[in-house]
Amino acid sequence: MPCGGARIDLFLAAIVIGITNGAFIALIALGYTLVYGIIELINFSHGDLFMLGTFACLTTLTLLGFATEVGIGGTPWWALLAAMLLAMAFCGTLNVLAERIAYRPLRKAPRLAPLISAIGVSFIYVNLGLLWQGPTPRRFPDLLPQYDFVSQMFGLETLVRFTFKDLFVLGLAIPLMLALAWVIRNTRMGKAMRAVAQDSEMASQMGIDVNRVISFTFLLGGILAGAAGLMYGLYNNNTVFTLGFDAGLKAFTAAVLGGIGNVSGAALGGFVLGLLSAIVITFLGGQWDSVGVFSLLVIILVFKPTGLLGQGASD
Amino acid sequence: MAMLQVENVHTFYGTIEALKGVSLTVEEGEIVTLIGSNGAGKTTTLRTIAGVSHARAGSVALDGEDITNTPANDIVRLGIAHSPEGRRIFAGMTVRENLEMGAFTRTDRTEVDSDYQRVFDLFPRLKERILQRAGTLSGGEQQMLAIGRALMARPKILLLDEPSMGLAPVLVELVFKIIQDINAQGTTVLLVEQNAHMALSIARRGYVIQTGRIVLSDSAQALAKNEMVRKAYLGEA
Ligand SMILES: Nc1ncnc2c1ncn2[C@@H]1O[C@H](COP(=O)(O)OP(=O)(O)O)[C@@H](O)[C@H]1O
Ligand SMILES: [Mg+2]
C-alpha cells in the first residue's frame, strides 16, 4: 500500500499521461464530430484511418532509413516532418475517397445504410492494415530526444514525468486544433462548413457547393488523423493493425461526451477522456480501461446524450 | 420575353403531386404576387424556381435560358435569390456572417460592400445587431435578415415566401414598404403571400393558386375586385 505522498505522485503522473493521450484522442474525435456535424454520419472507419496513419508514418520513416533508432545521432526532424505531411495527405485523401465511393451514393438512403457502409470501410481499412504491416505489433522508432523536464531540468525526484515526448505531442496537437478552429471560424470554406452543418439546403441556395464542402470536411478530419498517427507512433513506439478499434472507441466516446457535432466539445471530450482513462489505468489497472470507456459512453447516452457542450453547435 | 417563365410545371414530393401544371411569368421590374391558401403549392412553386425541388415535367427559364434542372447553387449565380418560408437564417452564425453567406458567390468586393450599406439602410436594426448570433434575433429581425441575405446576392429576381408570416401588424406594414423600396431600386420580385390584401396592394399582377393549379391571373387591381378572390382570400363574406 503506497503512502499518501506516493499516491499524489501517481495521480499527478496519471494526469500528465492523460493529457498527452487526450491530445491524440481529441484529434481523432474531431474527425468524428466534423463529419457528424455536417452529414450526421458516425464514420465508424475513422479510428482505423488513424491506424493507417501510423502505418503511413512507419513506412515513410523506414523508406527514409529510420526504421529503428539504432545508430542515429540526433532526431531527424526533416524525416519526421516528411512522415507527418505524407500521413496527413494519405489519410486526408483516403477519407475523401471513402466519402465519394461509400457514403455519398447513400446520402438520401435511410440513415442505417451509410452507417453500415462505414462499418464496411472500417473492415477494408483493418484488412489493408493487416496486409501492410502483418498481424503482430510493430515497433515504431524512438526518434525523439530522451529528456524528462521534471527530473533533469528541475531535479525533482518523483514518479511524475513530463518528457520531451509529452511536449512534442502537445506542442503539435494544440496548435493543430487552434488552426482548425481558425479555419472554421474565419475562412470562406469554414463558414460554408458551418452553413452546411446548420441547413445544407439553404446553404446550397447561397451558392455553396455542398458536395465540395463535405469533401473538404472529410479532408480536414483525415488530415488530423494522419497527424495523430505520427504523434501516437513516436510517443508509444509501437503500432498494430487493431489499433483503430480502441482509438476509435475512445475518440467516439470523447466526441459524444463533448456533444457530437460540436468542435470545441470534441477537443474538451478528448482531454477529459484521456484523463479518465489514465486515472483508471493507474489506480484500477489496464484491464478496466475499455470497461471504463464503454460505461462512460453508456452513461452519457442515457443521462446526457447532448454531451457537455451541447450537440451540433458547430462553432 | 419575360424575365422568368414557368411553364406547365409538375413537381412531386415522392408520389404526391404538389404542382399539377403551373405556368406563370414575371417581367423585368415587376412585383408579381402568387396567392393561395395553405397547402395550395405556393412554396413548392418558389422551391422549383430556386432549384431546391425539381420539376418532373414542364420548364423554368430565366432570361430565356432553361434552368429546370440547374442545381440550386448555380441558380443563385444566374440571378435568382430566395428568402424561404420560415426564414431559415443560419441561427448559429452572426448577422454579419449570414449576410456574407448571401454574398457567397460574389467576387466584386467593392460592390458587395456597397450592398451591405444598402441592406443596412433598408434594415437599420440589422446594423445594430451585426455581431449578434442570428438565432437571438426577434422574429421580425430574422425576417429582415432573411430578406437582406437574399439581397446580398444582388439578384435580378427576388423570391419572397410569406415575408409577413408571424409578424406584428406594424412590422407587416414595414416589410411591405421595404419590398416596394427594393423593387423601386430595380429588383424584380415574385411574392408569395397568404396576406392577399397587402400583397395585392403592392403588386402589379397576381396569380391565384389552388391545389397545385393556377386558377386565376390578372392585374392586382382586378384581382382585388374579383368576387372569388374577395370571398376566399380577402376574408369578405
Ligand atoms: N416536404 C414535403 N413532403 C410531402 N409533401 C409536401 C412537402 N411539402 C409540401 N408538401 C405538400 O405539397 C402541397 C403544397 O405545399 P406547399 O407548396 O408548401 O403549399 P403552400 O406554400 O401553398 O402552403 C401540400 O399538399 C403539402 O402537403
Ligand atoms: Mg408555403
Q: Closest chain B residue to A195 measured between Cα atoms?
A: B90
- The minimum CA-CA distance between A65 and chain B, rounded to whole Å, is 48
Whole-number Å distance between alpha carbons of B15 and B31 = 33
Of B51, B91, B102, the CB nearest to A206: B102
Which pLDDT score, from 0 to 100, does residue A315 have? 47
Q: Is A41 a domain residue?
A: yes
Helices marked H in A40-105: 46-63, 77-98
Q: In this complex, do A199 and B100 lie within 8 Å of one another by their Cβ atoms? A: no
Angle at B54 between CA B53 and CA B58, to 5 degrees: 140
* Average pLDDT along chain B: 95
Q: In this complex, do B100 and A195 lie within 8 Å of one another by their Cβ atoms? A: no
Give the DSSP letter of residue B106: -
Which pLDDT score, from 0 to 100, does residue B235 have? 74
Give the DSSP letter of residue A163: B
Q: In this complex, do A206 and B84 lie within 8 Å of one another by their Cβ atoms? A: no
Of B52, B92, B97, the CB nearest to A201: B52
Q: Given strand B188-193, what is the order of strands in its sheet? A: B80-83, B157-161, B188-193, B31-35, B205-210, B213-219
Pocket around ligand 1 at a 6 A CB cut-off: B 13, 16, 18, 36, 38-44
Q: Closest chain B residue to A262 measured between Cα atoms?
A: B92
- Residue with the smallest CA separation from ligand 1 atom 3 is B13
3-class state of residue A280 by DSSP: helix
Mutate to test the pocket of ligand 1, among B6, B16, B209 (most ligand atoms within 8 A of CB): B16
Interchain contact A198–B (C-beta under 8 A): yes
- The minimum CA-CA distance between A60 and chain B, rounded to whole Å, is 40
Which pLDDT score, from 0 to 100, does residue A153 have? 86
Of B77, B90, B93, the CB nearest to A207: B77
Q: What is the pLDDT of residues B17-58, one digit of tens each?
A: 999 999 999 999 999 999 999 999 999 999 999 999 999 999
Mutate to test the pocket of ligand 1, among B10, B13, B192 (most ligand atoms within 8 A of CB): B13
Q: Closest chain A residue to B79 measured between Cα atoms?
A: A207
Which class for A35: exposed (0-12), middle (13-18), buried (19 or more C-beta within 10 A)? Answer: buried
Whole-number Å distance between alpha carbons of A58 and A230 = 8
Which pLDDT score, from 0 to 100, does residue A73 have? 82
Domain that holds residue A260: 5-303
Mean pLDDT throughout B69-89? 97
Interchain contact A315–B (C-beta under 8 A): yes
Q: Is A309 a domain residue?
A: no
- Residue with the smallest CA separation from ligand 1 atom 1 is B13
What length does chain B have?
237
pLDDT tier, B236 (very low <50, low <70, confident <90, very high otherwise): low
Portion 112-151 of A in contact with B at CB < 8 A: none
pLDDT tens across the length of chain A (315 residues): 445 567 888 999 999 999 999 999 999 999 999 999 999 999 999 999 999 999 999 999 999 999 888 888 889 999 999 999 999 999 999 999 999 999 999 999 998 999 999 999 999 999 999 999 999 999 999 999 999 998 888 888 888 899 999 999 999 999 999 999 999 999 999 999 999 999 999 999 999 999 999 999 999 999 999 999 999 999 999 999 999 999 999 999 999 999 999 999 999 999 999 999 999 999 999 999 989 888 988 999 899 888 988 876 554
Q: Is A96 a domain residue?
A: yes
CA of B40 to the centre of ligand 1 (A): 7
Interchain contact A256–B (C-beta under 8 A): no
Residue B146, amino acid:
A
Q: What is the pTM of this model?
A: 0.93
Do residues B47 and B193 touch, judged by C-beta distance below 8 A? no
The CATH number assigned to the domain holding B185 equals: 3.40.50.300
Which pLDDT score, from 0 to 100, does residue B232 have? 83
Interchain contact A210–B (C-beta under 8 A): yes
Helices marked H in chain B: 42-50, 72-78, 95-102, 109-122, 124-128, 139-151, 169-184, 196-202, 220-225, 227-233
Domain that holds residue B173: 4-233
What is the count of structural domains for chain B? 1
Q: What is the pLDDT of residues B146-204, one digit of tens each?
A: 999 999 999 999 999 999 998 999 999 999 999 999 999 999 999 999 889 999 999 99
Which pLDDT score, from 0 to 100, does residue A5 have? 64
Q: Is A311 a domain residue?
A: no
Whole-number Å distance between alpha carbons of B137 and B115 = 21
Whole-number Å distance between alpha carbons of B233 and A74 = 83
Chain A neighbors of B104, CB-CB under 8 A: 188, 192, 206-208
Interchain contact A202–B (C-beta under 8 A): yes
Which pLDDT score, from 0 to 100, does residue B237 have? 54
Which pLDDT score, from 0 to 100, does residue A7 have? 84
What is the count of structural domains for chain A? 1
The CATH number assigned to the domain holding A68 equals: 1.10.3470
Ligand lying nearest the CA atom of residue B45: 1
CB pairs under 8 A between A and B: 64
Rounded to two decimals, the ipTM of the complex is 0.94
Which pLDDT score, from 0 to 100, does residue A236 have? 96
Q: In this complex, do A314 and B92 lie within 8 Å of one another by their Cβ atoms? A: yes
Interchain contact A189–B (C-beta under 8 A): no
CA of B194 to the centre of ligand 2 (A): 9
Q: In this complex, do A204 and B73 lie within 8 Å of one another by their Cβ atoms? A: yes
Q: In this complex, do B93 and A198 lie within 8 Å of one another by their Cβ atoms? A: yes
Q: In this complex, do A208 and B100 lie within 8 Å of one another by their Cβ atoms? A: no
Interchain contact A214–B (C-beta under 8 A): no
- What are A116's three cell numbers? 453500415
Share of chain B above pLDDT 90, in %: 92
User: Which residues of B make CB contacts under 8 Å with A?
Assistant: 50-52, 71-77, 81-82, 84, 88, 90-93, 97, 100-102, 104-105, 149, 153
Residues ≥6 apart with Cβ < 8 Å to A13? A158, A159, A160, A161, A282
Characterize B184-216 residue by residue with b for buried, 16 or more Cβ atoms within 10 angstroms of its Cβ, and e for exposed: eeebbbbbbbbbbebbbebbbbbbbbeebebeb
DSSP-assigned beta bridge partners for residue A238: A139
Q: In this complex, do A202 and B102 lie within 8 Å of one another by their Cβ atoms? A: no
Q: Closest chain A residue to B105 measured between Cα atoms?
A: A207
